[in-house]
Amino acid sequence: MLVRAALTIAGSDSSGGAGIQADMKTMSALGIYSCTVITAITAQNTSNVDYILPLNADIIKKQIMSILSDIPIHAIKIGMVYNNEIITVISDTLRNLKIPVVLDPIVSAGTGAQLLQREFLSDFKTKLIPICDVVTPNISEAEKLSGIKIKNEMDIKKTALKIQKQGARNVVIKGGHFRNEDMIIIDTILDEFGKFTVIKNPRMNIVETHGSGCNFSAAVTAFVALKFPIVNACIMANKYVHNSIVNTLKIGKGIPVNNPISTMYEESCKYRVMEELTNAVDQLTNIKNFEKLIPETQSNIAYAIPYAKKIEDVAGVNGRIVKVGDRSIPTSGIKFGASRHVASSILEYMKINQLVRSALNIKNNKKILDKCNRLFRVTHYERKLEPKTIKNKEGKSISWGVSQALSKNPDADIIYHTGDMGKEPMIIIFGQNPQEVVDKVKKILNNMKF
Ligand code: PXL
């Protein structure tokens, strides 16, 4: 396999969320092979940086030379540099290379510690900014580099122009820390032709995520290594990091950690979910007498990706599995977000057991329910007892019912209700995957006489 490689020159973060560790995850997730040069070792967790050990110039230079003498590197990222010795050796070693350089001007950690000693800011500006193709400061880093206090969007543009004058070809100022009234985050790119591009994202309800800056500059580096022009690389990296912030992880006691693997993980899970569900629908519709279990409102079978949070994370038959004479057929293919009711019941079940990710609704009559009671762990809820406030909220009835039923038996295979005015009685069969659900259907039918 032909893979393009990039190099990150950065600090090690023992908590795994930022620095070298974030860069490797991000680049790998974007299909880039990552080589690493470690500049400093930090002892830190999600609350504090406890210790910093900067490495000496000699070992930093040796790491860079080892890699460059062997592996074709298509882009280089510079992260934490800490002191003048490190700044100087990187600048001297990279100065005459023809490889694009992305510079993340890291001054301090999200948890507060100084990651560039204050007295070396001017060395940083004179030795590293002129050798980079793009520099990616956040608002406070941009203020420190430029000496401008940023109060509005005009100031952001002024600041970008000033940093460009210091020698950076392109400048991206990340607006995540910039407070404006309309809850929009603005990232501003100033390219080498003097053109501004503004990227807007809705602000999320997250104050700080550990590693998002590293993920962004690593993603820009990966896209540059893939030969995208800098502005496109920044736009793509912005989208990528936005999704990794949406999926942020509360892994320790301190600030949440950015999750750059999440996009790739979700996509690979979606593929497997589609395959397993398609196979289950094939099996179901070929089971003799399955149509006898299909209710008036028809059936659907659904399957959620791990850690599913919303209806769109759950796949189902686009339409329903319908009874046609003595056969059952799916009206259409499998689609994410296609099922509302069955998907809501899975999402509710997953709140108490993340492993139960599949379900199917079938008809509820005495004969079928008796078999279920004999064969499985069954619980139920009364739709008639549903509070009015919930009834009035579109899509909330099922969640309410499933949580009521599971409070009586949190290990149930089956949840049923006996209906209400205009609501058909229903049975929902749950399982960890669609195959388990299909096997439960087979068991019910094998025990029934027709
Ligand atoms: O997010 C900036 C950063 C970069 N590099 C290292 C870090 C941090 C933040 O904590 O620890 C090594």
Q: Which atom number of ligand 1 is nearest to the Cα of residue 213?
A: 1
Cα separation, 342 vs 280, in Å, equals 15
Distance (angstroms) between ligand 1 centre and the Cα of 109 equals 5
Distance (angstroms) between ligand 1 centre and the Cα of 179 equals 23
Same domain, 178 and 325: no
Same domain, 48 and 190: yes
- Choose one of 260, 277, 303: the last residue of a domain: 260
Same domain, 291 and 143: no
Domain that holds residue 382: 265-446
Cα separation, 119 vs 394, in Å, equals 59
Cα separation, 359 vs 221, in Å, equals 42
Q: Please give the model's pTM, rounded to 2 decimal places.
A: 0.86
Same domain, 226 and 309: no
One digit per residue, pLDDT tens: the chain, 450 residues?
679 999 999 999 999 999 999 999 999 999 999 999 999 999 999 999 999 999 999 999 999 999 999 999 999 999 999 999 999 999 999 999 999 999 999 999 988 899 999 999 999 999 999 999 999 999 999 999 999 999 999 999 999 999 999 999 999 999 987 766 668 889 999 999 999 999 998 888 777 889 999 999 999 999 999 999 999 999 999 999 999 998 899 999 999 999 999 989 999 999 999 999 999 999 999 999 999 999 999 999 999 999 999 999 999 999 999 999 999 999 999 999 999 999 999 999 999 999 999 999 999 999 999 999 999 999 999 988 988 888 777 778 899 999 999 999 999 999 999 998 888 999 999 999 999 999 999 999 999 988
Asked whether 106 lines ligand 1 (CB < 6 A), one says yes
- Choose one of 238, 260, 282: the last residue of a domain: 260
Count structural domains, the chain. 2
- Per DSSP, the three-state class of 354 is coil
Cα separation, 442 vs 150, in Å, equals 66
Same domain, 184 and 292: no
Please give the order of strands across the beta sheet that includes 101-103: 49-54, 33-44, 5-13, 73-78, 101-103, 134-135, 170-173, 184-190, 196-202
Same domain, 177 and 305: no
Q: Which amino acid is at 427?
A: I
Cα separation, 42 vs 19, in Å, equals 9
Handedness of CA 242, 247, 252, 253 (dihedral sign): positive
Whichever domain contains 395, its CATH number is: 3.40.225.10
Closest to 215 (Cα-Cα) out of 46, 21, 64: 21
Same domain, 69 and 114: yes
Q: How many Cα atoms sit within 13 Å of 311 on the Cβ side?
A: 11
Same domain, 346 and 229: no
Whichever domain contains 125, its CATH number is: 3.40.1190.20
- Choose one of 242, 260, 278: the last residue of a domain: 260
Q: Which atom number of ligand 1 is nearest to the Cα of residue 80?
A: 5
> Of 106, 210, 221, which is best to mutate to test ligand 1, by the most ligand atoms within 8 angstroms of its C-beta?
106
Same domain, 215 and 99: yes
Same domain, 297 and 242: no
